[in-house]
Amino acid sequence: MNLLARYAECIFWMARYMERAENLARILDVHETFARDTRGMTNWFSIVQLNADEKDFFSRHDRPTAEAVVHYYMFDTQHTNSLVSMLRMARENARVLRPWISTEMWTQINVFHNKLVEMNGKDVALSNLSKVCTWIKEECQTHTGITEGTFYRDQGWYFYQLGKYIERADQTTRLLDIKYHTLLPSPVVVGSTLDMSQWTTVLRSAAGYHAFRRVYPRGMSPTTVAGFMMFNEGFPRSVVMCVRQIDGLLTRLKSRYTLRNGSDAMEKVDELLGALLARPIEEVIQLGLHEYLDGVQAQLCGITTEIGRAFFGQDTVTMTQSQSQ
């Protein structure tokens, strides 16, 4: 059966917004729990930095207090990168897709969104932030599970997976990038206690701490953490793992449904995968991790653009959704 170009685009973005929401909930959660500085204060500002939201944030807040940052990322409807806005976008896409997706997928997103909207900022005191974040994360995972179990496997499924993995790869690079920024101002301080607890936080945000320990039972260094998150072939949130998925998905999508377009997107994916496999992490860090991650993000954007051109009927780059932070 034919898939409307507009539906393909909505499926792609619904997946991205759900993935993005899950990542944000993870970040807020581990921050509350683990990311405390030497005086026991949580560095909430780094979340604003991580999402490159400084300008927007300070246009409405004087100081990055815990309350301000939490509200900004959970309930601020004017802020497009808040959880409530992401869920609204995911739901809007799901709403358009109701003739296509399973009723269970729609119902879960609808109820999830409505509960989040009903939740007042006051309900989320810092003391139970973690509980709320866990709930959000679990709702996102429920979505993933329902999708896996009920979404009819045709073209739509591929666009869903493409959206999910592109978003996930992007989120991992952002997480690494900001930590690299804040934690490695100069190579000299590497190895301090604070530093390592921060890197633990990075791993925990991506649910990778235990997996990392399994691979590196002894010791933890910024290099091994970064290498693990970038290149590990078994970790489901590593960039390489995600890009390999994207590669396979595009290939199968194109061949199974004999789609005319998509070669440019596949070329871009090949390019990115080649670049990722070309250098070990030590070399990447030496050359500058930040610039490297910037490059990966730009390439992911490029893949999205090509997918849009090939399948969503976009001749020019006119994304209606906010593509990245």
Partner 1 sequence: MSVPEGKATDLLTNYDPGLYYDELFGGRDYPAEHSALIRQRLAGLNFGDLLRRSQDAERELYNLGITFLVYSNKDAVDRILPFDIIPRVISAKEWAHLEAGITQRVTALNLFLHDIYHDQKILKDGVIPTDLVLGNGCFRPQMVGLDVPFDTYIHIMGTDLVRDREGTFRVLEDNGRVPSGVSYVVENRHMMQRVFPDLMQDIGIRPVDNYGHKLLDAMMEIAPQDVADPQVVLLSPGSYNSAYFEHIFLAREMGVPLVEGRDLVVENDRVYMKTTNGLARVDSIYRRIDDAFIDPKAFNPDSMLGVPGLLEAYRKGNVALANAIGTGVADDKAIYCYVPRMIKYYLDQEAIIPNVDTRICREADALRYTLDNLDKLVVKPVGEAGGYGITIGPRASKEELADCRAKLLADPSNYISQPVVDLSVCPTVTDDGIDPRHVDLRPFAITGKNTWVLPGGLTRVALKKGTLIVNSSQGGGSKDTWVLQDGAQEGSAS
* Cα distance between residue 125 and residue 114, in whole Å: 20
Rounded Cα distance, 186 and 276, in Å: 25
Tell me the C-alpha distance between 151 and 160, whole Å.
Answer: 10
Q: How far is CA 315 from the centre of its chain?
A: 26
- Which of 36, 88, 95, 244 binds partner 1 (CB under 8 A)? It is 95
Q: Does 131 bind partner 1 (CB under 8 A)?
A: no
Least spacing, CB of residue 103 vs partner 1, in Å: 7
Is residue 105 within 8 Å of residue 143, measured between CB atoms? yes
Determine, following the binding rule CB under 8 A, whether residue 103 of this chain makes contact with partner 1.
yes
Give me the sign of the Cα torsion angle 116, 117, 120, 126.
Answer: positive
Per CB under 8 A, does 5 bind partner 1?
Answer: yes
Determine, following the binding rule CB under 8 A, whether residue 257 of this chain makes contact with partner 1. yes
Residue 232 binds partner 1 (CB under 8 A): no
Which one, 8 or 293, has the nearer CB to partner 1?
8
Of 36, 45, 92, 323, the one binding partner 1 by CB under 8 A: 92
3 vs 319, beta carbon nearer partner 1: 3
Termini Cα distance of the chain: 35
Q: If you search the block for the tokens 């649910």, which residue do you land on?
A: 207
Among 21, 90, 96, 129, binds partner 1 (CB under 8 A): 96
Report the 10 Å Cβ neighbour count for 282.
Answer: 11
Helix (H, G, I), strand (E, B) or coil at 285: helix
* Binding status of residue 261 toward partner 1 by CB under 8 A: yes
Pick 80 or 110: Cβ nearer partner 1: 110
Q: Which of 259, 273, 275, 301 forms a contact with partner 1 (CB under 8 A)?
A: 259
For partner 1, the closer CB: 159 or 292: 159
The per-residue DSSP string of 181-235 comes to HHH-SSGGGTT-HHHHHHHHHHHHHTT-HHHHHHH--S---HHHHHHHHHH-SS-
Residues that bind partner 1 (CB under 8 A): 2-8, 92, 95-96, 98-99, 103, 106-107, 110-111, 114, 155, 159, 257-261, 311-313
